[in-house]
Chains A and B, each alone.
Chain A
Amino acid sequence: MGDRYQLIDMIMKNTVSELIDQRVAPHDLADFIDQVAKDHRALGKWRNYHLIGDVIRGEVTSTGNCMMGRVQQALEAEPTVLAPIAEPVTNNIEVVRPSNIEALKSAGMFAVAASIVLMAVLTLSPGAPMAERDGSEIARNTVNRAPEVATTNLTEPGQQQAFETEFGQMLVEHGEFTAASGLNGLIAYAKLVSNENLE
């Protein structure tokens, strides 16, 4: 059953992408709509894609709890490709969902919210390759020698954004658990407020 929905998910992602690019033939589209209409869960996913698209395009104007709930559901349901292409993993791995998934679902919602903010606020650059910089630092430091560093440059804008978003999420999660033990109480929220494009 899980495989079926994964397959639908993959088909849908491709089709939505192609629809956006207007590369779907009419008969393919009809077949697709027919499949989606027969399946309640697939229909929900289809709505989610539309909703997220509307939000991204700024076409959603209503506010209130109902809207918030829908957006939240959409974000929960929408899988996001977080990582840019660098070192593909070829192993066949099944994603295992725990039985208490519902209880756990809300755990990351602060980060969902924060990641939305971070996408808007933070430019978490992966930075330049660190090997040279570390080398010079380690040369001054005989106590600790850093291992070799392999950093991949991100060339595609989408990859960069995905990278930033994922690391932004982690940064906020990290900050939430460490704010009381450091100066991060200020810095974590200052990062949310800061305008990265300041020149």
Chain B
Amino acid sequence: MSVLPHFRMRKISLKAGIRALFIIWVNSSIGVLYASEEAADWLMKINDAAAHLSFAGDFVYVHDDQVEAMTVVRRVQDGAMQERLYALNGEAREVVRDMDRVWCYIPDKNVGVHDYRQTSESGFPRILAADIDDLRQNYLFELGGRLRVADRMTTQVKVLPRDNYRYGYHLWADEESGLLLRSDLIDAAGDSVEQYLFVNIEIGREIADSELESVTSKDQLVWYGMDRPNLTTDVNQGQWQVIDLPAGYRLTKHILRMTPMDMEEEEHMVFTDGLSSVSIFVKKAKQGQSTVIGLSKMGAVHAYRNNIENHWVTVMGEVPAETVQHLAKQISFRQ
């Protein structure tokens, strides 16, 4: 028996194997792509639901080993949003807001605060201001499993960062409405740094005016507040610039404002990759003034402060420590 037929058989089987592997790879790639597209679709559903649905429910907010329980009532009517957020444990603090204004009730301090909002498009629990394609540069989208949350079926969407300059998001969207019922902010180690989830919720029902009224009467509090909208000055080219941004981040806001407590000029820059955001505050240091230098952490928020050219530079955002440290090193005074 010659060796040739045996070799041919092996060659044929090798070809078949490669072909089979290729088919498997193509199928799995198509599957991954399909799952990624479906995950992106879910993100858009979440975004859309947050903008258009009325709902009322209780949720828990978990951070820094603390668990806070709250009620939220939200009404969207004729494109206008009204919302009341109310603490269920401890003091009966609450926030009532609409598209333009916000009222904060702090009954345990006998204080109320009302003000105009700086960004009326701010929403709860709205995500995704940027295009999905832009987000793909910095995140991978995956479809997770199904999970029952607040007695409703949800689908999990994983938004995984491509590098360590941003957190990941594990989101659970209501299968019927698309509303976000659970959200976990995930660090590089895979640990949850901040989480909220609904324990009960009614979606799409009519919200009565009385449900949007505060428990505490306004007359019971001493009120602080403004009688006109806030003003800031946009700057095209500030005195400060960031030379090298982390991948995917872009400058979206650069304003000049006065610091509220000491009325000093401050530059404020906001950078975002579409999901994660970082602010940089720059303020001139005063004679004899001192402060904390270095890194601080509050839940998912990291802040890094440095003194550059006799200015206090504070970088802050719900991003990993690496991001704020990187930006703190890259900011410089424009000559």
Contacts and interface: CB of A to CB of B under 8 A. Distances in A.
| Most chain B CB inside 10 Å of its own CB: which residue of A78, A108, A121, A196 | A108
Interface residues of A, number: 101
A22 interface: no
A193 B86 contact: yes
B41 interface: no
Interface in B207-226: 219, 221-226
B296 A190 contact: no
B316 interface: yes
Given A68-B224, A117-B113, A183-B169, A95 B260 contact: no
Interface in A145-184: 146-147, 149-152, 154, 163, 165-167, 169-171, 173-174, 176-184
B196 interface: yes
A59 B88 CA distance: 29
A165 B262 CA distance: 12
Contacts, number: 342
B4 interface: no
A18 interface: no
A198 B89 contact: yes
B329 interface: yes
Contacts of B104: 113-114, 117, 192
A183 B317 CA distance: 13
A104 B67 contact: no
A26 interface: no
Given A71-B224, A106-B231, A173 B125 contact: no
Interface residues of B, number: 118
Nearest to A69: B227
A95 B87 contact: no
A122 to B, nearest CB: 8
A80 B318 CA distance: 26
Contacts of B265: 96-98, 104
A22 B173 CA distance: 61
A196 B66 contact: yes
A197 B270 contact: no
B275 interface: yes
Given A89-B307, A170-B316, A110 B115 contact: yes
Contact of A179 (B61, B123, B307, B310): B123
A104 B310 contact: no
A109 interface: yes
A180 B275 CA distance: 9
A195 to B, nearest CB: 3
A178 B270 contact: yes
B147 interface: no
Contacts of A116: 106, 111, 113, 224
A178 B165 CA distance: 17
Given A93-B310, A147-B329, A194-B61, A110 B291 contact: no
B119 to A, nearest CB: 6
A72 interface: yes
Nearest to A125: B298
Interface of B: 50, 61, 64, 66-68, 70, 72, 85-87, 89-91, 93-95, 97, 102, 104, 106, 108-111, 113-119, 121-130, 163-165, 169, 180, 183, 185, 187-189, 194, 196, 219, 221-233, 252-253, 255-265, 268, 270, 272, 274-277, 279, 281, 284-298, 301, 303, 307, 310, 314, 316-318, 321-322, 325-326, 329
11 contacts: A77-B263, A89-B286, A89-B287, A104-B258, A107-B258, A134-B321, A151-B294, A170-B279, A176-B117, A176-B122, A183-B185
